[in-house]
Amino acid sequence: MQLGAERIHQPGERVVVSASGRGEQVHRVIVGRTRVRGVTDWSEQRARAIDAHAADLARRAAAESEKAAEMLREFVAVAASRGPAPVRLVARSYDGRHRYRTGLRGWYLRPDEGIAVAEDARFYVMAVRGSLRALVTGVTLEPDPPRLVLGEGGRDGERVTLRLALDTVLGSA
């Protein structure tokens, strides 16, 4: 076969011969995909790498969340036995202008009362979308997966470990 020559082998497939420093190389080209000696095209490799990275990230996040949940369970057991006493948890609107009843009792983990742990050891972010109805009836919060670091990605001084936040609450009793 001549250099640069193409020949159709099967419908949608062609073979291209090219030269390199080590002689001729045969490339098999399939419409929409390129296969060179068993290696799939770049976009498929990237898709597999992205999927593997996302799965690894999800596994790490789940493990971190489970570790944080265990810390919260220990904290609730200690706080229930020796204090401080739980308080009614109140959520704030995103703009911070309104406060909403939640029906939850627990402990705030941050001085700004933006994060709390309830008596059932669930982790809550105490921010909600404001509404006139919620001012009267209150809001129902869904628990969030707990994090080992609170304020991750925030400004300087806003990032604090969960362990430090829990110890601060226990120390204030």
Q: What is the pTM of this model?
A: 0.67
> 3-class SS at 19?
strand
CA distance 153 to 42: 32
Question: Sheet holding 99-108: strands in order across?
Answer: 123-125, 115-118, 99-108, 87-93, 127-128
Yes or no: say if 117 and 72 are a contact pair by the CB < 8 Å rule. Answer: yes
CA distance 120 to 155: 30
pLDDT tens track, the chain, 173 positions: 444 444 444 454 555 555 555 555 555 544 444 455 544 577 888 888 899 999 999 999 999 999 999 999 999 999 989 889 999 999 998 888 899 999 999 999 988 888 999 999 999 999 998 888 888 888 888 999 999 988 876 776 678 889 999 999 988 75
Question: Cβ atoms within 10 A of the Cβ of 126, count?
Answer: 23
Distance of CA 80 to the CA centre of its chain: 30
In DSSP terms, which residues pair with 90 in a beta bridge? 101
| Strands 13-20 and 23-30, sheet pairing | antiparallel
What are the sequence ranges of the domains in the chain? 6-40, 65-171
